[in-house]
Every structure is written in C-alpha cells, then in structure tokens.
Amino acid sequence: MTILVVTGTGTDVGKTVATAALAACASGAVAVVKVAQTGVAPGVPGDLAEITRLSGRPDVHEFARYPDPLSPHHAAQLSGLPGVDRSDAVARIKELDRTHDLVLVEGAGGLLVPYAVTPALSQPGLDSEWTLLDLAIELRAPLLLVTMAGLGTLNHTALTVRVIEAAAGELAGIMIGSWPAEPGLAERCNVRDLAGMAPYRELAGVLPAGMSSMRDFPEQARAALSPRLGGTFDWPAFRSAVRA
C-alpha cells in the first residue's frame, strides 16, 4: 500500500499525463484521486476522465469540482461552494490506501497553490490556507515533481525542490512532462541540471510531447518511466543522447 502525490512546478506542465503514465505502468489495484478539479463544469469530463482514457484505470475519485479556471481556494469562494476540507481529504485517501496497492493523488497547479481558506484558530480574524505540500506531509507520502524542459524550468524546479526539503517532505523524483521531438540547446542543457536536483541524480522519467494523443499510450508510458516507477526508461542512455 503506497500513496504517491503528483505535483508540478506550475500549470500545464504535464501532471495529468504523468499521472496517467504512472497508473498505466503500476501493478495491482490502483486508485487515482483529484482533490479538486477546477475550470470544468459539472457533467463535463475532467482530468480523471482523461487519466482513465489513457491508462485504462477506472477507479478514480474527484473530491471537489469548481467551474472557474482558478486556484481551488478562489474557485471555491467565487462559486459559493465549500472549499476542500483537508482532514476529510486525508481520511478518504487513507481509506483508499487500505484497499489499494497504489493511490495516486494529482494536484492542481503548482505545489503551493491553496486548496481552501479556513479561519486560523491560533490567530482569530486571519485566514489559514492549506496546500498539496501540507496534504503530502500529513499523509507521509512522497512527492513526484513534474516540470518543463525549456527556459525557466531550472528556477521553478529548484524553488519547488527547496520548499519540499525545507518542509521535511520526501521528493520521490523529478520528471519532464513534455519533451520535444527536436530539443533545442536549452532543453539539452537543462537535463543535467534537473537531474542534479533529483534523487539518485537522475530523472524519474521523460514524457514525449503529444503523448496523450498517441494510440500506444501504455507502451509509450513504460518507455518514458524509470524502472522504479514500473517503466523501462534508460536514464544513462538518454543523458548521453542529449548531452549538449
């Protein structure tokens, strides 16, 4: 029984495709959780529907949905719907963990995006926000960080890693969420630096751009994920092939 939290350096870095790839390559009973889906109207397929389509895993759980494409705490406030209760989310994820070999929890946006605002008990009159990092620490679950390949990624990735380390969180790995078919000099240079921030000084996976439209998604997923995540990705070979 394992819980893995999938986070990113920001929005649109490939978290959903990464989560689908992890689900496709995992063995045993797998559940996928989306704590809060934003920017999708009721009844419209969201990220979990895409994960099921790609991975074939139907055991998915969406805890809250808000129609506006905002951070969960703002989307909840604007819609008039209740924010996600952290204690309830923790309890539901732990219950899934008791009956599954793997529970994948996909975050919204980046690591520190607030999920809900609640009155701070210690300081009346102020608000307290909780984030995916808070959730992962309470669950004692490692975080897999999905990042970009190109310019800007080194700063965003380093900042996210430092926040995880400062909070005594566990970094399970760093994965590139969209690797171009023809990488430029920036992408090839960044590979070494990104790997240097990761456990074992190697990337946990590199997902090819456009992977969600590939018919052989499970095969592509296995080739893109490291053996630690159920794949066959050859980090030394990839590093040598893209060396700048």
What's the whole-model pTM score?
0.94
pLDDT at res. 87: 96
Please confirm, yes or no, whether 34 is among the known catalytic residues.
yes
d(Cα 118, Cα 171) in Å, to the nearest integer? 27
Of the listed 34, 57, 100, 222, which one is catalytic?
Answer: 34
Could you identify the residue written with the tokens 């939290």? Answer: 5
pLDDT at res. 117: 74
Distance from the Cα of residue 164 to its chain's centroid = 14
pLDDT at res. 118: 65
Which CATH number is associated with domain 2-242? Answer: 3.40.50.300
Residue by residue, pLDDT tens for the chain (244 residues) are: 799 999 999 999 999 999 999 999 999 999 999 999 999 999 999 999 999 999 999 999 999 999 999 999 999 999 999 999 999 999 999 999 999 999 999 999 999 999 987 655 444 444 568 999 999 999 999 999 999 999 999 999 999 999 999 999 999 999 999 999 999 999 999 999 999 999 999 999 999 999 999 999 999 999 999 999 999 999 999 999 998 7
Distance in angstroms between the alpha carbons of the first and the last residue of the chain:
40
pLDDT at res. 119: 59
DSSP of 21-52, one letter per residue? HHHHH--S-EEEEES-EES--TTS--HHHHHH
